[in-house]
Chain A
Amino acid sequence: MRMCVARALGAVFVACLIPFMIAWAEYADVTINTRAEIEGVAPVIFPHWFHRIRFQCSVCHVDLGIRMGAGTTGITMDKLIDGQYCGACHDGDTAWSMDNCDLCHSGRPGLETGIQGGHQTVGPGVY
């Protein structure tokens, strides 16, 4: 009996530790690596939290045509330099310009395209 209680307490203790053992990305971070590493640059990390402080959802997802689904929009650097998608702001005026490669291409090698943030996040990134 005493052993069972000890085991149960041990299991609870380990369960409580799990959130501190795993490094969760920030909720709703998007990782994009459909082409990046193939083209020789690091994967892109897009932080939703940073952008939604400054712009409403519609600006990107309606006006700029960025689809809700990680990696489904077909974004390429050519299009961005042409002022489409991220390029509408990242022009050196509203936000930093395209020659600051590292600021977007800042991901670890091997990241998969998707929506990140732990067990609470699965969302449409699979499509």
Chain B
Amino acid sequence: MVAATGIAAGTWQSLSEDGLHDPENPAIGVLQEPAEALGVLHYDPAGNKVDWVRSLDQGMIAPRPSLHDDREPEILESTVLMRNTNELAYVLFAHKPHTQWMSCEACHDSIFIAEVDANPINMGKILDGEYCGLCHGAVSFPLTECNRCHNTVPSSVRADGSIIEAADSAQ
């Protein structure tokens, strides 16, 4: 089986050889293999080897927002700029890809207070499974992907906090 993205099977471990499933269990051969499901999605070098957000954006998957189809997802376009990042690039958090997967109450206010700079987040806590680390490093893309969150160099931010887009700076 060769994926649409050109990634050959073998990138994903078969269930019988993943070190978790009992190869003698009758479920082997019945359960879907990761390569079959994931090999047709957009490739990504980290995590599940799938770019989940891009796969969702392009309609390759359509995960249901509710069990009984009684809730429409509320997609937010707003971003939050976090500048207290020491020597690393700033974090420009985008609500959109998060709200494509989760309702607001998944994060607010049980994990994050919905107010800029109100959450005492640091990498130690994140690595310890708090805040962003509740999902990132467990299920969503891993914490080894520094630049995906630390994605905005200070020189691209105006004094008012707005972002200078590449198209703007080229003018």
Query: Which residues of A come within 8 Å of B, CB atoms?
Result: 23-29, 31, 42, 45, 47-50, 52-59, 61-64, 68-69, 88-89, 94, 102-103, 106-109, 111, 115-117, 120-127
Contacts and interface: CB of A to CB of B under 8 A. Distances in A.
Nearest to A103: B27
Contacts of B12: 26
B142 A54 contact: no
Given A23-B13, A102-B27, A106-B31, A125 B20 contact: no
B21 interface: yes
Interface residues of B, number: 50
A69 B26 CA distance: 28
A25 B129 CA distance: 20
A121 B139 CA distance: 8
Contacts, number: 147
Given A62-B102, A115-B138, A25 B63 contact: no
A102 B26 contact: yes
Contacts of B34: 26, 47, 49
Interface in B112-145: 127, 129-130, 133-139, 142-144
B25 interface: yes
